[in-house]
Amino acid sequence: MDSAASEKSIIALDEWLLSPAGAYVRAFEQACLDELTADIFGYNAVQIGVPQIDALAANRMPNKWQAATRTSRFDELAFAASGKQIAVALDFAELPFASQSLDLVVLPHVLEFAAEPHQVLREVERVLIPEGQVIICGFNPASLWGLRQGIGKVTRSCYLPAAGEFISMPRMKDWLKLLNLGVTRSHFGCYAPPFRTTQWIDRCAVMEGAGQKYWPYLGAVYIVHAVKRVKGMHLIGPAWNRKSSRAPQAVPATNRE
């Protein structure tokens, strides 16, 4: 997929996310992202793509940006779900941030519509600080939606944007592992069949609980949370009173174990 095709597919995703099925996905992802990001601390966080979701709404970092591609339709998508203005226009494969400068990066449906998904991930690894965190949202090819999408590509009646190259959870974990991004948590959701109307999607609300219990890995959407691991690095605690650390008091012999 070249860059021009990638831009077109991202625009197609923007339009799809406004559909009833898109609203269904956005509701699940917003709730899950709010839970995941609420307790991630640091100074700098960036959401790349999909301004229809405010992935950093629950996060309390002082510096938060929402980024879009250079050719995104800013006249229509200039504001995120929370009303915050998009702050950065960029090429996903060349992030305009210094190495080891970000504490958190969120990628909602970016990799599957990017021209060079591996390069995007490499850039994310570059800009994250040691122990920095990345959260990725993707469509699950091993689901009813993935099956419907496969049939749609043959019949030319795709349910999801046709240009998306959907990445399975095991494959995504392999990509992350190669970059020393260790997966800590993963979530699946959206178990309703691939209906196009709100009425039919709502009728299948009972499938959310059943899916989580009986076929948890077959949700239409997954969210992966990973941490940047740096070999040979050990986290240390705060520097306490130096005087006491330089000259520790001797423990009386009677109190030694």
* Residues 141-154: tens digit of each pLDDT: 999 999 999 999 99
Mean pLDDT of 28-55: 94
Backbone φ and ψ for 246, nearest 5 degrees, come out as: -75, -35
Question: What pLDDT was estimated at residue 70?
Answer: 56
* Residues 114-164: tens digit of each pLDDT: 889 999 999 999 999 999 999 999 999 999 999 999 999 999 999 999 888
Instruction: Report the mean per-residue pLDDT for the chain.
Output: 84
Q: Which domain holds residue 99?
A: 3-255
* Residues 75-100: tens digit of each pLDDT: 444 444 454 545 666 677 788 899 99
Please give the residue that has the higher pLDDT: either 4 or 46: 46
Mean pLDDT of 6-33: 89
* CATH number for position 54: 3.40.50.150
Please give the residue that has the higher pLDDT: either 252 or 169: 169
Count of structural domains, the chain = 1
Identity (one letter) of the amino acid at 64? Answer: K
Contact of 209 with 152, CB cutoff 8 Å: no
Sequence-distant (6+) residues with CB within 8 A of 149 are: 139, 141, 158, 159, 160, 164, 166
Please give the residue that has the higher pLDDT: either 214 or 247: 214
